[in-house]
Every structure is written in C-alpha cells, then in structure tokens.
Amino acid sequence: MTDNVTAARGRVRVEPCAKRIRVYRDNELVADTLGALYVWESPHYPTYYLPAADFHARLRPTGVTEHSPSRGEAEVLDVVTGGGTAAGAARRYPDSPIEALRGAVRLEWQAMDEWMEEDEPVYTHPRDPYSRVDILASGRHVRVELDGVTLADSHSPRILFETGLPPRYYLPISDLRMDLLRPSQTSTHCPYKGTAGYWTLEVNGKRYEDYVWIYRLPLPESQKIAGLACFYNEHVDLYVDGALQERPRSPFS
C-alpha cells in the first residue's frame, strides 16, 4: 500500500499513518510500528490498526469471532505479556473485504497502559490528522445565561475553534457566578487538551449536572485555556456581543 492510498467501505475509511506508534502493557512493549493505519470506524475520530508482524506481545486466539458488516469476520484475541493477559483485547480481520486490514490488528485502547505517538504519550484515542484546534484571545463580550439567570459575563474570552465542533468560549473564573457552581467528581480526557474537571450548576433550585468544565493543567499545545472555564453552549443561552447564539447541534447535544 503506497502512502497516498485511501480505502473506504461503508462508514470505514483507512489511511496510512506516518507516526511511529508504540503500545505498552504491564511495563512491557506490546507493539512498535512505523506501519500503523488510521481507521475511521465512526465519523468522530480514528482508531489505530497495527501490523501483526510488529507485535512483541503474543496474540492468542480465543476461538471467538465477531462480525462487522463493513470489516468482515474478526478473530478475537488475547494479548499475552510476561505480566499477564488482556483477555479479548485484540481483533484481527484476516479475510476482511477491506484489503488493507487483513494483516492488521486492532487493540482495545483502554486495555493497554500506554500509547505513544513518536516519543509523546497520547490519551483517549488517536489524534485525528484532519482535526485542528485553534485558541484565540478575543475582546468579544460573552454572557452566559440559564433559566433567566446570568452565569458569566466576560470581555476577555479565549475562543477555541476545533474541527467539527462549535466554538467554545473559555472565560476567566473571576467572570463567573461561582456561588452557582458545585464541584463534580466527573473528569474527561481529550487527546488535544488533556484532562478536564467539571462543575454542576444550581440555578433556581434545579441542578444541571456537569454543564461547566475547566482544564487546570492542559497539554502543552492547549496552554492558552489553562485555568479558564467553559459552558456547554448546547445547553445554555450564550450571548456574544449582545446577540443570542443558536444552540448548536453536536455529539454533546
């Protein structure tokens, strides 16, 4: 397969990845490859398929198979290292109608301890080569309201533009009604921004779970939003320079 080959079948798109990918489990190297594939099994982000020849861990058949309408019949495999076994953590499609997948193996992301792109760890899922994140300082007037109550009012947002998602308005904590925020135990992880913590809102006697988030220690490429808070504009009334914004439709709606 040459570098510019793209294969598609149904919802699945396959492209070569130029990055060195390494995977670890139990402090042991599971796979190390320069021949990884990006495979879009869903429209939102890709997963990695790795050449079977580049595995250091043993891939042990379980005797179980799974059928995919687009990728064909999968052999379910255990991933065996000296430190233990990740049961059923790999899939191989030796007779896939997508030729590029026949010699490749898909690992369950969460079953592995560490994923590396070149010499840097990556979390949650592979970075999409077609996604871009731009964070821009702005003097726009941003006001956030819910159920008739103003939650935030700021003239110094940082606006985050991420491919495929609505603009996000990150605001200084000093511009928020902190008396309406309650700490949440929720956290989420983004391969572009890092780990987010959350607040729940209490407005007019009602609770709105995890409507606000913050990246206190974002990844280096997203340092501009460190310590700033953001509201789901899918769920609140957002005014920009006095104009009420339409609530966007997104995977978070």
Query: Coil, strand or helix: which one is 71?
Result: coil
Query: Coil, strand or helix: which one is 115?
Result: strand
146 and 94 in a common domain: no
Structural domain contains residue 249: no
pLDDT in tens, 207-226: 999 999 999 999 999 999 99
pLDDT value at position 42?
79
Residue 158 has pLDDT above 90, yes or no: yes
117 and 138 in a common domain: no
Structural domain contains residue 110: yes
Structural domain contains residue 251: no
Query: Coil, strand or helix: which one is 19?
Result: coil
Residue span of the structural domain in which 20 resides: 7-121
Residues forming a β-bridge with 92: 75, 105
Q: What is the largest CA-CA distance in the chain?
A: 62
**Residue in 83, 77, 1, 66 with CA at minimum distance from that of residue 39:** 1
Residue 5 has pLDDT above 50, yes or no: no
**Residue in 122, 52, 63 with CA at minimum distance from that of residue 88:** 63
What mean pLDDT, rounded, does the chain reach? 93
Structural domain contains residue 127: no
Query: Coil, strand or helix: which one is 30?
Result: strand
Q: What's the whole-number mean pLDDT along residues 163-178?
A: 96
Residues forming a β-bridge with 80: 58, 85
Structural domain contains residue 126: no
179 and 101 in a common domain: no
Domain of 67: which CATH number?
2.170.150.40
137 and 111 in a common domain: no
**HSE value, Cβ hemisphere, 13 Å, CA-based, for 237:** 10
Distance linking the first and last C-alpha atoms of the chain:
39
156 and 94 in a common domain: no
Q: What is the CA radius of gyration of the chain?
A: 22
Predicted model pTM: 0.82
Q: What's the whole-number mean pLDDT along residues 103-114?
A: 97
Q: What is the domain count for the chain?
A: 2
pLDDT value at position 8?
52
Q: Which of 121, 142, 165 is the last residue of a domain?
A: 121
137 and 40 in a common domain: no
208 and 169 in a common domain: yes
219 and 115 in a common domain: no
238 and 205 in a common domain: yes
